[in-house]
Amino acid sequence: MELKTYIKQRGISVKKAAQELEITRGYLYEIVGKRISPGRKTAIKIQDWSQNLVKFVDLWEDNGNRK
């Protein structure tokens, strides 16, 4: 499941999700927008936070936007 979909299903804002994950809102917007991929520790934190509904492959999927 994509991170954006998970956040929407929980009915919380990106700001609230960032607070729960203890990362900056800007960093989370970059991840949700797939402009960047999170680092390993952040990816593990997101997977744990989402109760394994958001998988590593969803976070690191190459969509052609990354260099």
Give me the pLDDT at residue 60, please: 87
Please indicate, yes or no, if residue 65 is contained in any of the structural domains.
no
Q: Is the pTM of this model over 0.95?
A: no
66 pLDDT more than 60:
no
Please indicate, yes or no, if residue 66 is contained in any of the structural domains.
no
CATH (domain of 27): 1.10.260
Distance, in Å, from the CA atom of 26 to the CA atom of 61, rounded to the nearest integer, reads 20
18 pLDDT more than 50:
yes
State pLDDT tens for residues 25-59: 999 999 999 899 999 999 999 999 999 999 999 99
* Mean of pLDDT values over 9-20: 97
Please indicate, yes or no, if residue 31 is contained in any of the structural domains.
yes
Give the domain range for residue 38.
3-60
How many structural domains compose the chain?
Answer: 1
Please indicate, yes or no, if residue 67 is contained in any of the structural domains.
no
The vertex-38 CA angle with 45 and 61, nearest 5°, equals: 110
64 pLDDT more than 90:
no
